[in-house]
Chains A and B, each alone.
Chain A
Amino acid sequence: MPDDTLLQSRRNFLRAFPAITAGVALPMGSARAAEDRHHWGMLVDVRKCIGCQACTVSCIMENAVPENSFRTIVSTYAVQLEVDGHMTASTYMLPRLCNHCDNPPCVPVCPVGATFKRDDGIVVVDGDRCVGCAYCVQACPYDARFINHDTGKADKCTFCAHRVEAGLLPACVETCVGGARIFGDLNDAEGELRRRLDAAKRSDPGAVKVLKPESGTRPNVFYIGLDHRFQGRVDGQAALWRPSEHGG
């Protein structure tokens, strides 16, 4: 399979525009039915991530994420490897974000039903209803949620739902320098995301992985090139730098 560039990825996404815009012209019920067919997901090709944190910064700018809070971040690790009998050092990058699970543990615990999974697969928080109890923060196995100290509510990645609804890519995908993040509709067999996933599975049935598969959350963020040592809680030396103070 040819190695698609980021530009191609965007073009393929934008190619679906006529279908989306045509839906706008349909009666409301039909439009909703068309939207319901979407099942948004993301593929992260770890091999292409260069750890530039452009996704981290663009997410913060796009979503007004408060200082020292993150909806997405590229976890970066220094790893010792043995190559031809010699020890050498390498860097491993792992972009992390909400996995928009099909079985999201954050949803059933919410005491007021403020967090829910939309028909298009995106897990969101109703900011008007959230009481800021942080139960969902505890329940998420991926440490993907936090309390936003500007709003006092639970906060997380929304796949930039506001952008997706406008026919745009999530900010992190838009700015990914290495083209490591591919966003799309899992239900679209011809879409870029589905084709990439299917191609990877054809070449190696174990190529596509998710984080913490044993937790039964059924994530919709998939990884190619994910080292098993980083699939769960990382067993290593703690971070050299951590943003630990919130800005609130």
Chain B
Amino acid sequence: MNPSIVEVVNVAREVAWLPWAVQYFFLIGLSVGSFLLTLPWFVLRRPAWQRASRIALLGALTCGLTAPVALLADLHQPGRFLNFYLHPNLGSWMAWGAFFIPLYLGGLMLYAWLALRPDLKRLADAGGRWANIYRALAYGGHDSLGAIRVAAVLALSGAALVALYTGMEVMVVHARPLWDTPFLPVQFFITAVAGAIGLVLVLDRFVGDGRAAEDAPLLRLLAATQVLVLAVGAAWLLLGVSGLSPRHAEALAQVAPSTAWRITAVWAAGSALATFWLGLAARHPAWRLTAGLIALHSAWMMRWTVFIGGQEIPKTGAGYYVYHLPLGHEGVLGIVGTAGLWIVVLILLISVLPWAGQHRTQA
């Protein structure tokens, strides 16, 4: 900071991408990451992954169905979302997102339906008030691996495009040096996968039988993601400190003077190290849950820091803008509301589909 210049009057631009955006990027990232974790069992039929993949499918669906609501809420004219399809500007990554999201979610739901048809048939065969509905939904109840693999390719294409566009959309904003880095899409993706593993560990504790991580190498995978998180973070820092990349040096110069940013960086690195250690050492279910919660928190915090923290850096003015989280729908209520919607979708899905009772239905 140059003490010889004091800004006396200037405009403070408020945060324009609200906490809704953080929620969207968090949830869609978790959904994509969770979907990837479903592949080892439903597509590759690795027995060790059966529990984990089934729980991951629940995570992919709940987060995938909730995320677009948060995205819609972040528009200041949500009723005009049709304009994305009526007047697409295909030079904009955000415009492509409007097509990639339905592609991914359509593929995911088709994939989930094909994967769950045998279970739906078992539920229908078990009788009860909903038997006819389950029978209709099961549509014969065949375990069609070929069809599942085709749907998986469709969903995987959508997932890859969603991961690509969410990263690129932010990366191309050259006006914000902090966002203008090719590391950002990579960081989004790695933390999304780590968060998804965390989500599976948490859901497994409360919805599953708590043994998903005993069969599948979830914890080792989680530890590996943290190595990548730390490596990418170190590479970003190295480029900034060394001055090899002027853009990274500029981004570092913008945040380095801030105590809050330094604390955030230490917190993020500490969380990654803690998750890494738990990934290697956690054997007790409570520690697995802790690892999952920290991974989820890190994925959310990374997005909060990038979006809200990034918008606190003035493009022309001195110092930093100060963001106060409002209590209303543009702040706390938006975050709590999204979480509440996710819980409602979760309750609905575990109520009508055979998640918790997978072993019972297979017996």
Interface of A is mostly: loop
Given contacts A152-B77, A238-B7, A239-B7, contact A96 B174 (CB under 8 A): no
In the complex, what residues of B have CB within 8 A of residue A92's CB?
5
Decide if B76 touches A73 in the complex (CB within 8 Å).
no
**How far apart sit A130 and B173, CA to CA, in the bound complex (Å)?**
19
B305-341 interface (Cβ within 8 A of A): 311, 314-322
**How far apart sit A92 and B94, CA to CA, in the bound complex (Å)?**
39
**Contact mask for chain B residues 67-90; partner A; CB cutoff 8 A; 1 contact, 0 none:** 000000011111011011011110
Given contacts A75-B7, A110-B92, A112-B95, contact A233 B77 (CB under 8 A): no
Q: Say whether A211 faces chain B, with CB atoms less than 8 Å apart.
A: yes
Q: Say whether A32 faces chain B, with CB atoms less than 8 Å apart.
A: no
Cross-chain contact of B11 among A132, A133, A141, A242 (Cβ < 8 A): A242
A61-75 interface (Cβ within 8 A of B): 70, 73-75
Decide if B88 touches A133 in the complex (CB within 8 Å).
no
Given contacts A232-B316, A233-B316, A234-B316, contact A241 B84 (CB under 8 A): no
Decide if B173 touches A240 in the complex (CB within 8 Å).
no
In the complex, what residues of A have CB within 8 A of residue B254's CB?
233
Cross-chain contact of A237 among B3, B97, B169 (Cβ < 8 A): B3
**How far apart sit A18 and B98, CA to CA, in the bound complex (Å)?**
49
Q: How many residues of A contact B (CB 8 A)?
A: 58
Q: How many residues of B contact A (CB 8 A)?
A: 53
Decide if B87 touches A139 in the complex (CB within 8 Å).
no
Q: Say whether B8 faces chain A, with CB atoms less than 8 Å apart.
A: yes
In the complex, what residues of B have CB within 8 A of residue A129's CB?
80, 83, 87
Given contacts A109-B94, A110-B89, A112-B88, contact A134 B10 (CB under 8 A): no
Chain A nearest CB from B5 CB (Å) reads: 3
Of the A-B pairs whose beta carbons lie under 8 Å apart in the complex, a sample of 21, sorted by A's number, is A74-B9, A75-B7, A79-B5, A79-B6, A80-B3, A109-B172, A113-B88, A129-B80, A130-B80, A131-B80, A134-B17, A138-B16, A138-B175, A140-B175, A146-B16, A233-B318, A234-B7, A236-B5, A236-B319, A237-B2, A243-B11
Which residue numbers of A lie inside 8 Å of B, CB to CB?
51, 53, 70, 73-80, 91-92, 96, 105, 108-114, 129-135, 137-143, 146-147, 152-153, 211-212, 215, 229, 232-244, 246
For the complex with contacts A75-B11, A112-B83, 7 further pairs of A-B residues with Cβ separation under 8 Å are A76-B10, A129-B83, A147-B16, A236-B5, A236-B318, A240-B6, A241-B9
Which residue numbers of B lie inside 8 Å of A, CB to CB?
1-14, 16-17, 74-78, 80-81, 83-84, 86-89, 91-95, 97-98, 169, 172-176, 254, 311, 314-322
